[in-house]
Structure 1
Amino acid sequence: MKFLLFTFVGVHLLFLSSGKAIYRNDTSQRTFEEIKEEIAHYGDVAKAIIDLAVYGKAQNRSYERLALLVDTVGPRLSGSKNLEKAIQIMYQNLKEDGLENVHLEPVKIPHWERGEESAVMLEPRMYKMAILGLGSSIGTPPEGITAEVLVVTSFDELQRRAPEAKGKIVVYNQPYANYSKTVEYRVRGAVEAAKVGALASLIRSVASFSIYSPHTGVQEYQDGVPKIPTACITVEDAEMMSRLVSRGSRIVIQLKMGAKNYADADSFNTVAEITGSKYPEQVVLVSGHLDSWDVGQGAMDDGGGAFISWEALSLIKDLGLRPKRTLRLVLWTAEEQGGIGALQYYQSHKANISNYSLVMESDGGTFLPYGLQFTGSDKARAIMKEIMGLLQPINVTQVFHDGEGTDIESWVQAGVPGASLLDDLYKYFSFHHSQGDTMTVMSPKEMNIAATVWAVVSYVVADLEEMLPRS
């Protein structure tokens, strides 16, 4: 008789040639069917969370909490007084909410300020353009930089036209493909322009849609390459300049930027917990980042993600639930500068990496979720699909690939299962890093649904008898 050996969640299955399975159970190992049955028992808990968050007394709470913070504090740039004020407010909020082990973990973060900035077209006509300097950019001399423009649509075109770039301001009018591909022009634009002798670079905003709105973001200099000032311009102005040069017009721009980089500042990751009842040393981490860029209110990026993460713990606490594992909320600092706060957290806590069952980050908007993105083993994915099935009453049950997030990246790369929310990214990147990122973008009903997904997933994973399998 022919046998095939298959292992699932620590359970060895011996398959007969007919396909019928014989289970060989070890004392502490269970079949997937047993795990499915365990998850099914959380139907009442999921319903209670849904009722409380979507229809009950917690309805719209995450939206109202967020609005209070961002209306009061405003945007929260790394190194700014606004960010540190927001951290202190959240520290008090979490304590007053009755969460446990509320504390601040110190980190060092970048401190950059944009100062006054302007870009004026002098030829072929006088025209003041909207710009936003890019994070960590240097400033111009006080008198600014006045130079002719070279417009390109790609790095390849810049290389082909390298002899034309020396002494000019390079304008990138790259088409928007998707964020991960197009953002390379924002991140590397200044370096590539400097390599061919440009004096400055202006990058078409990385945006899925524009109503004359520049979108800022981080950019990176490279050792051995001259640092030049760099800013983003609107989609409309990038396309307009491209049309002008295609007709043979000469464009001259005067760029002034008062941007400055300062010594690293003191800041904190903000932490709160519901301590586990049976395995308190084991952790399900739920997170979003508290910092933002210095435009708009930082409501969508990432106020929404931070506040549904807080709301997840609030909902669980309000229902008197205490999972077997510790639920740990972390509100990250300096995500926008490359996950600085999260990287320092990882370095401080990675010795206990074997105790992390799941790391969750919401940093892609809190619009109506399509489902959950997940990175992990096939066995863990099967479990997550069962858990998401508990959310059938709100019709958010899908499990997609590639659970991601700057702040959980180190954990996921080290093999810890990771999850993130997936929703309307076209809408998200229409407002991302712009003056349009305000509470007007947010929907209380959609935040209720997002918080519900976050609460159900985090609670059930934290309360299962075993951690999510990593292989």
Structure 2
Amino acid sequence: MKKALHLFAFLFLISSSLAVAQSQEEIVNQIVIEANENSQLEDLAHHLLDVIGPRLVGTPQQQKAHDWAVELFESWGIDARNEQYGTWRGWERGVTHVDMLEPRVVTLEAMQLAWSPTTPEGGIEAEVVSLPWVESAEEFEEWLSTIDGKFVLVSMPQITGRPDYNWEEWATEESFEKMRQDRDEQMRAWRANIENTGYNQRTLPEALEEAGAAGLLMSNWSRGFGTNKIFGAATDNIPHIDVLLEDYGMLWRLAENGSSPVIRVNAQSKDMGEVPTFNTIAEIRGTEKPEEYIILSAHYDSWDGGTGATDNGTGSITMMEVARILKKIYPNPKRTILVGLWGGEEQGLNGSSAFVADNPEIVDGMQALFNQDNGTGRVANISGQGFLHSYDYLTRWLSAVPRDVTQNIETSFPGLPSGGGSDHSSFVSAGAPGFMTSSLSWDYYSYTWHTNRDTYDKIVFDDVRNNVILIATLAYMASEDPETTSRERRILPINPRTGEQMTWPEPRTPNRQGGLD
């Protein structure tokens, strides 16, 4: 009789394990089917990027994006809310139109920088002059007295508008090397010239503005064809305009060679005072361990040279799509699943670090966070972020992900903790297991990171769908895991640069009232 009971118990355990395994396999299969056959990614991207547009902190577009996300989550049966974490300078971009009128007429490719002051209605028409080469601060001060009412070119003109990879493919070795040496020498000379003015890159715009310049023209080339980085203005009262390399170089050559180019700049914008800033938080409540959390993390804000497609529209729509699929396939998770669409990442991880500071109970109960924020590529790297036992649970969760998704993913354990770069760092610095799902480049840093070319057409939707399957499966496995993740930290190595032992990063203090100085 005892033998029969033991046999029954053994068979029961085996059948239970098989049932769990089959259930797990079935859930993952359903995730894959839903992600591939009923994908909402293209529709999400269209509305977020084409209809709403870029999501610069403090703009009406960012507010529209937050409100749309809440409405969308709720249409999927997911509770959602906007949580204010601070305020920022409100600003709205209007039309930028720049035309060269002399020595010939041509419309230039240019745009005002974020938070640039507006021009009068109809714009400003004025001569363009280049920053001079000077030997002393006195010589520069004398030149400053000549620029009243003129536009000033303040960036170093580039020797070439061709990326290095294009030179490497077509130029002779000697020609390529000569170009690089000439460029390096020009950069050294430019830095020395700025130093000779008595100012630096931060104080020079203020000096030019005080001297009566009509506006500042710059060109922040990204080292890619037709691509510039677009950041914030450094002026208080005059327009600050970025001009594409090709047109900027032409203006510089004309000014340097005595052709006295004249342009008309019409750059309209609205200063909207102090406005609230938000994180959007969506929640699928846990059934067994509701006070433990899996967080699907992506920053929702962007710079506004393009539409913020790969930084970080792709990460945002990935987490939204993961939440939609999990709510449909796995509506009663063991642990609570949160989506964090963070505001103000581009100004220093402000939204996520504020959430960490304001919600210690969630951080304390965090099982894992998965963050996406570096372009459109499929995930290629996952680091253990310095958590000593991250190998145990991350590899356990990854084992359930379809092989065609994981076969090209490299992992590093235990890895090193991230002190910045993206929003997982806000949680890692607080000792909570946050993980960056790092993607293949697709020339991200040259062509789409903070540029005028970061637009819908650069998204590779097959790769984004791949990431949806990966993160949805990881979130499901993390929720179901019978064990709570370990937070034990590795002993950090010696920093080879300083010779001192590395330390765990300290939590950031969020800027809750920015851009108003």
Q: Does the TM-score normalized on the shorter chain lie above 0.5?
A: yes
- Asked whether 1:216 is paired with 2:230, we answer yes
Deviation at 1:424, TM superposition (A): 1.6
- Asked whether 1:331 is paired with 2:346, we answer no
- Asked whether 1:300 is paired with 2:310, we answer yes
Aligned to 1:144: 124
2:364 match: secondary structure: helix
Deviation at 1:261, TM superposition (A): 2.6
1:191 match: secondary structure: coil
Is contact 1:130-1:214 (8 Å) kept?
no
Q: 1:244 to 1:265 in 2, by over 3 A?
A: same
Give the % identical residues. Answer: 23
Equivalents in 2 of 1:256, 1:416: separation in Å?
A: 49
Deviation at 1:232, TM superposition (A): 1.9
AA in 1 matched with 2:154:
V
- Asked whether 1:171 is paired with 2:164, we answer no
1:424 match: secondary structure: coil
Deviation at 1:329, TM superposition (A): 0.3
Q: 1:416 to 1:238 in 2, by over 3 A?
A: farther
- Asked whether 1:456 is paired with 2:435, we answer no
Instruction: Give me the TM-score of the superposition, normalised by structure 1.
Output: 0.71
Matches within 5 A, 1:55-134: 58-99=37-78, 101-107=79-85, 108-121=87-100, 125-134=104-113
Equivalents in 2 of 1:160, 1:399: separation in Å?
A: 57
1:116 match: secondary structure: strand
* Residue correspondences, number: 416
1:469 match: secondary structure: coil
Aligned to 2:461: 444
Give the greater-gyration-radius structure (CA): 2
Aligned to 2:409: 397
Which stretch of structure 1 is more off in the superposition, 440-449 or 164-173?
164-173
Equivalents in 1 of 2:293, 2:320: separation in Å?
A: 16
Q: 1:268 to 1:233 in 2, by over 3 A?
A: same
2:208 match: secondary structure: coil
Q: 1:139 to 1:69 in 2, by over 3 A?
A: closer
Q: 1:386 to 1:202 in 2, by over 3 A?
A: farther
Deviations 1:407-458 (A, max 9, x none): 4443333333332232225146423455644433223322210111222333
AA in 2 matched with 1:144:
I
Q: 1:159 to 1:53 in 2, by over 3 A?
A: farther
Aligned to 1:34: none
1:366 match: secondary structure: coil
Q: 1:84 to 1:164 in 2, by over 3 A?
A: same
Deviations 1:79-126 (A, max 9, x none): 444443433332222123233x42222343431123333334456554
Is contact 2:90-2:275 (8 Å) kept?
yes
Equivalents in 2 of 1:157, 1:76: separation in Å?
A: 43
Q: 1:228 to 1:44 in 2, by over 3 A?
A: farther
Equivalents in 2 of 1:317, 1:297: separation in Å?
A: 28
Deviations 1:325-369 (A, max 9, x none): 322102223444554443443332246533334333322223233
Aligned to 1:193: 204
AA in 2 matched with 1:450:
N
Equivalents in 1 of 2:305, 2:222: separation in Å?
A: 15
Deviation at 1:208, TM superposition (A): 4.6
Matches within 5 A, 1:358-373: 358-372=368-382
Deviations 1:264-315 (A, max 9, x none): 2245422112233443222222122334455654443322211111222333
Aligned to 2:501: none
Aligned to 1:412: 428
Aligned mate of 1:467, from 485, 491, 500: 485
1:305 match: secondary structure: helix
Gaps of 5+ in 2: 1-16, 165-186, 192-198, 490-517
Equivalents in 2 of 1:158, 1:410: separation in Å?
A: 45
Equivalents in 1 of 2:103, 2:95: separation in Å?
A: 25
Equivalents in 2 of 1:319, 1:277: separation in Å?
A: 15
Aligned to 1:30: none
Aligned to 1:203: 218
AA in 1 matched with 2:320:
W
2:241 match: secondary structure: strand
1:370 match: secondary structure: strand
Over aligned residues, Cα RMSD in angstroms? 4.3
1:105 match: secondary structure: strand
Is contact 1:388-1:398 (8 Å) kept?
no
Q: 1:85 to 1:414 in 2, by over 3 A?
A: same
1:353 match: secondary structure: helix
Q: 1:50 to 1:67 in 2, by over 3 A?
A: farther
2:74 match: secondary structure: helix
Is contact 1:292-1:301 (8 Å) kept?
yes
Is contact 1:63-1:447 (8 Å) kept?
no
Matches within 5 A, 1:250-399: 253=263, 255-266=265-276, 268-293=278-303, 296-320=306-330, 322-350=332-360, 352-372=362-382, 375-380=385-390, 383-384=393-394, 387-388=397-398, 390-391=400-401, 392-394=403-405, 395-399=407-411
Deviation at 1:170, TM superposition (A): 3.6
AA in 2 matched with 1:328:
L
Q: 1:249 to 1:43 in 2, by over 3 A?
A: farther
Aligned to 1:33: none
1:172 match: secondary structure: coil
Aligned mate of 1:52, from 31, 36, 40: 31
Is contact 2:89-2:275 (8 Å) kept?
yes
Q: 1:371 to 1:159 in 2, by over 3 A?
A: farther
Gaps of 5+ in 1: 1-37
Matches within 5 A, 1:238-253: 238-241=248-251, 253=263
Equivalents in 1 of 2:392, 2:291: separation in Å?
A: 25
2:376 match: secondary structure: coil
Equivalents in 2 of 1:408, 1:146: separation in Å?
A: 47
Equivalents in 2 of 1:230, 1:204: separation in Å?
A: 11
